[in-house]
Amino acid sequence: MAEKEASVSLHEQSDNGHSPTLSSSDEVTYDSKFEKRVLRKVDVRLLPILGALYTIAMVDRSNISVARISGLDEDVGLNVGDRASVALLVFFIGYMIFELPSNMIIHRVGAANWIALIVFAWGLVSMGIGFLNNWIALAVLRSFLGMFEAGFYPGCVYLISSWYRRYEVQKRLATFFMTGSALSAFANIFALGLIQISKTHTSYKGWRWIYIIEGVLTCVAAIVAWFIIVDFPDSHRNKFLTAEEAAFIKARLAEDRGSEEREKVTWAIFVETITDWKVWSFSLMYAAGAVGVYAFLFFLPLILRNGMGYSQELAFVLSAPPALFSVVEGMAISWLADKMRLRGPFVIVQGIVAVIGLCMTGFLKHPVPRYIGTFLGEAGVNGLVVTTLAWQANNLRGDAKRACSTAVMITLSGLGGIYSSLVFRQQDAPDYIPGIIAVMAICIAAVVAAGISIVILKWENKRVDEGKKVIDGLVDFRYTI
C-alpha cells in the first residue's frame, strides 16, 4: 500500500552516497544509506532513554508488590480488609485524570522539559513512601505518584509515533515498551538486594530501603534525561539533526500520512476523537492488556510466594523470567506485524495466548505447569498492549487527534488498573482465582472487539476503493487491518 501526497514524493536512488536534496518542485530524493543513518540517529536518541525511564516508571508503581512480602503489610496495616486494594487503586485515579491534560500541553512545553519534570516529581514521592508509618499515608502518596506518572507513558507514545512512518512504529513502540518490561523484570532481584541493607542499617526495614534508594535513582535519572530526550519533529529545540536531516524526516512523514501541520488540541478535536468508534475499540483492547500487565506486576510475586509455595528469595527471582519471555515474544510479533503490515490478527493471537496462559496459572494444580502458564499469560497481555498501540497510531490521522486518542486510550487503561486492583481481593489469596477469571474475561472481550474492528475497517477500505468515501481528506489513505 502506498500513500502519496502530490507535494512530496520520495524516490530511492542508486547507492551513490548523496544526501537528500530539495528540487524546485519540492521533491525529496534520497538513498537508502542516508535513510538508515538518519533513522538510526533518531532511534539512538529517542528509544533507549525513554525505555530506561519507562523501566523506572514500572518499578516505582509496582514495587509495592515486593514491599508487601518484605514487611510493608505488617508495618502499615495493609493486610486488613480492603486496604491493599484501596492503596493500589488510588494510583489510577490521578493517573486517569491527568493523562489527557498532559498530552495537551507536552507539545507546547517541550518533551524534554515536561518528561524530566514529572519523572523528578514522582521520584520524590517514591522516596517519601519509604518514611511513612500508616496505610492512609501510603494511599495518599500513591495517589500523587499516579498524578505525576500520568503524563509520562502517553507522552512517550505520542512522541515516538510522531517520528516514524506507520509501518515502522510498532517495532519502535515494542522496543520502548519491552525495554521497560525486560529491565523491570530484574527490579525484584534488585529489590532483594536492597532489603539486605536493613541487616546492617537496622533503623529502617528492608521495604523502606526499596522505596528510598529507588526514589533517589529516579530523581537522578530525571536530571540526566533532560539532556538527552529529543522533542517532536517540528520543534526548533532539536539540535541533534542537521537541517537537511530534519527536512527529510518531515518529508517522509508527509508522504506516509499526508501533510500534517502541527495542530493545537482543541475541544472540537477532542469531541471528534471521543465520538470515533475506533478510539473506543482500541481502548478496550488496550485496557485488556493493561489489566493483565498490572495483575502480573502487582500479584505475581504474591502468587509465587503464597500460592505456589516458593520461598521469598525464589518469589523475587522467578518473577523475572516470564517478563523476559514476553519481551522476546513481543519483539518477534512486532517485527512480523510490521513486515506483514497487519495489526488486528496479531491482537487476536495475543489475546488467545493470554487466555491459555491464565487458564494454566489459575486452574492447574502443580506449581511447575502453573508457573509455565505465567510465561504465556504475561507474553499475551504485553503483546496486546504493544500491538494495539501501533494499530491505533496507524489508523488516526492528524497530530492533535493522535494526541487525544493516545491519552484517551491510556486513560481508560487506568480503569484496567482499578479493575485489576479490585478483582484481586485479599480474601481470594493466595491463588486469586476470581481475579484470574476476570482478566481472562476482558482478554476474550478484546479478541471479539478486534474481530469486529477488522470486519468494519475492511468494509471502510472497500468503500474507499469503490470511490464512495475519502478517509480524513486523503484520497490514497487506507486503514490498517
Angle in degrees, CA 244, 250, 252, rounded to 5 = 100
What global pTM score does this model have?
Answer: 0.75
Retrieve residue 191's grid coordinates: 529489590
Residue 474 DSSP symbol: B
Among 198-212, 279-293, 437-451, where is mean pLDDT lowest? Answer: 198-212
Lowest-confidence range among 44-53, 329-338, 406-415? 406-415
| Under 8 Å between Cβ of 308 and 371 | yes
Sign of CA dihedral 256, 257, 262, 264: negative
Q: What is the pLDDT of residue 162?
A: 87
Name the residue with higher pLDDT: 100 or 376. Answer: 376
Q: What does the pLDDT read at residue 50?
A: 95
Sheet holding 28-30, edge to edge: 10-12, 28-30, 21-22
User: pLDDT digits over 230-283, tens only?
Assistant: 998 888 888 888 888 888 888 888 887 665 555 667 788 888 888 999 999 999
CA nearest to 172, candidates 162, 160, 154, 180: 160
Mean pLDDT over each residue of the chain, to the nearest integer: 85
Tens of pLDDT along 285-333?
Answer: 999 999 998 889 888 888 998 889 888 788 878 988 998 899 889 889 9
Distance CA 10, CA 184 (A): 40
* Cell representation of residue 95: 493517573
